[in-house]
Structure 1
Amino acid sequence: MIDRLVTIGEGLAVFRTNSDDGLRRAPDVTVSTGGAEGNVAMAAARLGLASTWMGRVGADGLGERVVRELRAEGVDVHAIVDPGHPTGLLVKETSAGGRTDVTYYRALSAGSTLCASDVDGLQLTADTLVHLTGITAALSASARDAIERLLALASDAGSSVSFDVNHRSRLWSTLDAGPVYRSIAQRADIVFASVDEVDLLLPGWGGQAANAANAAEALAADGHRHVVVTDGAHGSAARIDGATTLGTSVSVDVVDTVGAGDAFVGGYLVALSRGDDVETRLRLASQLGAAACRHAGDWEGVAAWSPDEANREPVSR
Structure 2
Amino acid sequence: MKDKYVVGLGEALWDVLPDGRKLGGAPANFAYHAGQFGLNAIAVSALGEDKLADETIAQLEEKGLHYCMPRVPYPTGTVQVELDDEGVPTYDIKENVAWDNIPFTPELQAIAENTRAVCWGSLAQRNVVSRQTIYKFLDATPKDCMKIFDINLRQTFYTKEVICQSMKRCNVMKINDEELIVIGRMFGYPGLDIENKCWLILGKYDLDMLVLTCGVNGSYVFTPGCVSFQKTPVVEVADTVGAGDSFTGSFCASILEGKSVAEAHKLAVEVSAFVCTQPGAMPDVKAYFNL
Specify the TM-score bucket, using the shorter chain as the normaliser: 0.7 to 0.9
Deviation at 1:116, TM superposition (A): 3.5
**Equivalent in the alignment of 1:106:** 94
Distance 1:199 1:182 in 2: 15
Deviation at 1:94, TM superposition (A): 4.5
TM-score (norm 2): 0.88
Tell me if structure 2 keeps the 8 A contact 1:125–1:159: no
**Equivalent in the alignment of 1:132:** 120
**Equivalent in the alignment of 1:244:** 227
Distance 1:60 1:229 in 2: 38
Letter in 2 for 1:209: D
Q: 1:45 to 1:120 in 2, by over 3 A?
A: closer
Aligned to 1:262, the other structure's residue is in SS state helix
- CA RMSD after TM alignment: 2.5
Q: How many residues align?
A: 287
> Could you tell me which of 75, 78, 87 is aligned with 1:86?
75
Distance 2:250 2:189 in 1: 28
Aligned to 2:118, the other structure's residue is in SS state strand
Q: 1:163 to 1:119 in 2, by over 3 A?
A: farther
TM-score (norm 1): 0.81
Worse-matched range after superposition: 61-70 or 46-55: 61-70
Are 2:3 and 1:11 equivalent residues in the alignment? no
Q: 1:206 to 1:295 in 2, by over 3 A?
A: farther
Deviation at 1:267, TM superposition (A): 1.1
Aligned to 2:244, the other structure's residue is in SS state helix
Deviation at 1:117, TM superposition (A): 4.0
**Equivalent in the alignment of 1:46:** 36
Letter in 2 for 1:16: L
> Could you tell me which of 146, 152, 165 is aligned with 2:151?
165
Worse-matched range after superposition: 47-56 or 239-248: 239-248
Deviation at 1:303, TM superposition (A): 4.1
Worse-matched range after superposition: 1-10 or 64-73: 1-10
Deviations 1:216-262 (CA, angstroms, capped at 9, x unpaired)? 32322323232111111111111223211212211111221121111
Are 2:36 and 1:35 equivalent residues in the alignment? no
> Could you tell me which of 135, 145, 148 is aligned with 1:148?
135
Distance 1:66 1:207 in 2: 45
Distance 2:287 2:235 in 1: 13
Q: Which runs of 5+ in 1 are unaligned?
A: 18-28, 311-317
Aligned to 2:70, the other structure's residue is in SS state strand
**Equivalent in the alignment of 2:62:** 72
Instruction: Choose 1 or 2 for highest CA Rg.
Output: 1
Q: 1:42 to 1:7 in 2, by over 3 A?
A: same
Distance 1:75 1:273 in 2: 19
